Amino acid sequence: MNPIQFRKEKETIKAYANYDGLDNESKLYKYKCEFKTYIKNIVLDNGIGNGNVIFPCESWVHSKHENTDKRIFFTDKSYLPSETPVGLKSLREKDLESLRGNGEGERKTFERIYDYDTYNDIGDPETDSDLSRPVLGGEQHPYPRRCRTGREMTSKEPWSESRTGVIFYVPRDEDFSEIKEISFGATTLYSVLNGIIPMLDSTLTDANKGFSLFRDIESLYNDGIGIDLPNNGLLSVLTRLLRAITNTAESILQFATPRIKDKNNSRGIAVEHESAPHGLKLTIEDYPFANDGLVLWDAIKQWATTYINHYYPQPSLIESDKELQAWWTEIRTVGHGDKKDEPWWPQLKTQEDMIKIITTIMWVSSGHHSAVNFGQYDFAGYFPNRPTIARTKMPNEDPTVEEWEAFISKPEDALLDSFPTQIQATRVMSVLVVLSTHSPDEEYIGTNMEPAWAAEPAIKAAFEEFSCRLKELEAIIDSRNNDPNLRNRSGAGLVPYQLLKPFSESGLTGKGVPYSISI
């Protein structure tokens, strides 16, 4: 192996080349290596002294051997379709064509194509008939569409797409970065499901063994489980997700202590009301999700309002924007094809229509998702707080004499018997750790300004105001969590509600609102 390198502005990019044999014609030895190239920006000196020309790319570029089509990048100046310079219109159309699928072919990892399909790949009938699953999407099971991959259909069920390996196609520019793929992604989740869980199954050999004492539950967090850890890279995954302590004798797998356990132990009704804050009157006044969520919603809505009104000062510009209308039509009729004729779909004719649509999309993929996702381990990682299964009935109706006497004598045994088994509990805990963890390079709402926003003074100012409002929300949430009158967020045995605090460190923090849903 010989190292090959080339220089960019600040650092050297390196990769190892593998010997590929002797070229008989040139009599030269051949080496091959692979570079994955990500272009953030292209900056050109315009030569006239009034600033550089910036092309924000934020994109992976493919090899010409994979695809001979050349990539197109535009400057940071935003245009409506009706205002796009004539010389750019054909390039814009060509770029859009490179992103649109046609329902044909299998997608390759280097592609950026967005296409739609039903969820016809949630089962695995080729492996086992018991793993057969219905198709989600269509008249029988209406469901939104997924990103199409185009893999071959199974031989046993021609309507089911095969599951070839763990890699699922995601348009290249939307895929995880390498650091996020390491800390969370298909590979990590696959390691948990196919490495850690079978390892736990082999350690906890009795599938029906429950917890005989409450201190056995405590030991999962305090003492851990002794495991025989294979030397196959699994340790690197474990140390990022769980508290794994390695010594010379054995490896100890410890689960992080959920915050709900530390406190010794994530509902929504509102009506429109003009005089109420944010235009909504809460039926339950002390409702943390709604109270914090409304502040975040308002900040998102104001940011969307300023942005949309800047580029679309008249309703006619929205109705005449072909790209915008095509986008909204695709969402309704293709992305949600089973519901395309429903009467409740909003129209897209005015600025108010667009503000409502954009605000809703931004809220669902940021604040709403964060509130239901990143607290899962905190609330359910200590499974007595939220057991995922009850294995026995509580003896409260028509018990036998023996059952009743046993219950009266030692009621905690009835509770312990109803809890999940050790294997069931640790399986769920392992998955919840993955789902609740922020990656080191998580991008939080209101933190990074797009180059096109920075290039437009009005939009730059609006984003800065948006970012400031999110910082204010952090302080508001801290204040509410310290208010003794708000018993649903600061009472005895409660975890302070901070799921909608916009910013976070990496790891299991129970807070932080990323820009979008990553799984």
pLDDT tens digits, 418-475: 899 888 888 888 888 888 888 888 899 999 999 899 999 999 999 999 999 999 999 9
Among candidate residues 271, 299, 266, the one with its CA nearest the CA of residue 284: 271
Question: In whole angstroms, what is the distance from residue 313 CA to residue 351 CA?
Answer: 8
Strands 146-147 vs 225-227: parallel, antiparallel or unpaired: unpaired
pLDDT tens for each residue of 485-510: 998 887 777 788 999 999 999 888 99
Q: Please spell the DSSP secondary structure of 339-393, one letter per residue.
A: GTT-TTPPP--SHHHHHHHHHHHHHIIIIIHHHHHTTHHHHHSSTTTS-S---S-
418 neighbors 396 (Cβ within 8 angstroms): no
- The mean pLDDT value for 83-104 works out to 92
Query: End-to-end alpha-carbon separation of the chain, Å?
Result: 37
pLDDT tens for each residue of 116-169: 999 999 998 988 889 999 999 999 999 999 999 999 999 999 999 998 755 678
Tokens of 222: 């305090």
Considering 15-19, 162-166, 374-378, 491-495, the range whose residues carry the highest mean pLDDT is 374-378
Q: In the prediction, which pLDDT does 228 show?
A: 64
Q: In the prediction, which pLDDT does 29 show?
A: 84
**What is the value of pTM for the model shown?**
0.78
In this prediction, residue 360 has a pLDDT band, given cuts at 50, 70 and 90, of: very high
68 neighbors 86 (Cβ within 8 angstroms): no
Tokens of 370: 């964060």
201 neighbors 253 (Cβ within 8 angstroms): no
Q: In the prediction, which pLDDT does 28 show?
A: 85
Q: Can you name the residues that pair with 6 across neighbouring β-strands?
A: 13
Question: In whole angstroms, what is the distance from residue 145 CA to residue 132 CA?
Answer: 19
- The mean pLDDT value for 354-376 works out to 95
Question: In whole angstroms, what is the distance from residue 412 CA to residue 416 CA?
Answer: 6
Question: In whole angstroms, what is the distance from residue 435 CA to residue 377 CA?
Answer: 8
Which is higher by pLDDT, 48 or 384?
Answer: 384
Largest Cα–Cα separation, the chain: 95
Element (H, E) at 146: strand 146-147
Tokens of 342: 């429903």
Q: In the prediction, which pLDDT does 340 show?
A: 94
Q: Please spell the DSSP secondary structure of 187-252, one letter per residue.
A: HHHHHIIIIIHHHHHHHS--TT---SSHHHHHHHHHT-EEE---SSSHHHHHHHHSEEEE-SS-EE
pLDDT tens for each residue of 41-74: 898 887 766 678 889 998 988 888 888 888 999 9
- The mean pLDDT value for 204-220 works out to 73
Least confident stretch, 15-29, 154-168, 260-274, 351-365:
260-274
Q: In the prediction, which pLDDT does 517 show?
A: 80
Q: In the prediction, which pLDDT does 472 show?
A: 97
Question: In whole angstroms, what is the distance from residue 201 CA to residue 462 CA?
Answer: 53
- Mean of all residue pLDDT scores within the chain: 83
pLDDT at 250 over 60: no
Q: In the prediction, which pLDDT does 216 show?
A: 75
Least confident stretch, 18-22, 259-263, 269-273, 371-375:
259-263
- Give every CB contact of residue 120 below 8 A, 6+ residues apart in sequence: 135, 136, 137, 159, 160, 161
Q: Please spell the DSSP secondary structure of 266-295, one letter per residue.
A: ----EEE-TTSGGGEEESSSS-HHHHHHHH
251 neighbors 200 (Cβ within 8 angstroms): no
